[in-house]
Amino acid sequence: MLRDQLLTARRRLTAAGRAGAGRDIRDAVLSLPETQMAGTVAAYYSIGSEPETHGLLFALWKRGSYVLLPILLPDGDLDWASYEGPDSLRPGPRWLSEPSEPPRGTGAIASADLVLVPALAVDHSGVRLGRGGGSYDRALARVGTQVPTVALLYDTEFVPHVPAGPHDQRVRMIARPAAGVTRLTWG
């Protein structure tokens, strides 16, 4: 039910509102010391009503970061490949845009110094609500405990509680348009 409410609210956002939110999130993420020091960034190419990441990916790539993007596998797991600019993307399953570079394997995310993840909501303990397929929970399980993981959200999607199961992986930070980056403390 929470997932449906959040998706409905996202669909009500205008294209201009989504683009503005994406710019604000981009600026907040780029200003993080963890971003400035990251040689490899695992991220995603936004679709639909998600906070826009296209400008953020381009900025990371242009400044010399090695950017990894996911390739959705038939079993729902994520492989990873290099982002080499907007012209290096091809259509993937479920309306996704995927990198056309050679896949690096499901474990490639473990080499990331910073991981940017999609989410519909995150609660105060870092529990992330995704689309329900478990792809990012599997991927985040491969990320070291000291690697910053940042969920990109709209401002209203930081909520008091998200239902969690034993497979759910928590994030360490969230980035929102008006609020910027919030570091979450849990554990």
Q: Where are the domains of the chain?
A: 2-183
Task: Quote the CA–CA distance of 28 and 89 in Å, as a whole number.
Answer: 25
Q: Which two tokens stand for residue 98?
A: 């995927």
User: Which DSSP category does 70 fall into?
Assistant: E
Nearest to 28 by CA among 116, 110, 111: 116
Predicted pLDDT of residue 1: 83
pLDDT digits (tens, 9 = 90+) for 62-105: 999 999 999 999 999 999 999 999 999 999 888 889 999 999 99
Rg (CA), the chain: 15
- In this prediction, the residues of the chain whose per-residue pLDDT falls under 50 are none
* Residues 43 and 67 sit within 8 Å (Cβ to Cβ): yes
Predicted pLDDT of residue 2: 85
DSSP string, the chain: -HHHHHHHHHHTS-HHHHHHHHHHHHHHHHTSHHHHH-SEEE-----TTSPP-HHHHHHHHHTT-EEEEEEE-TTS-EEEEE--SGGGEEE-GGG-EEE-SPP--GGGGGG-SEEEEE-SEEETT-BEE-SSS-HHHHHHTTS-TTS-EEEE--GGGEES-----TTPPB-SEEEETTTEEEE----
Q: Which two tokens stand for residue 149?
A: 């993981």
Superfamily of domain 2-183: NagB/RpiA/CoA transferase-like (3.40.50.10420)
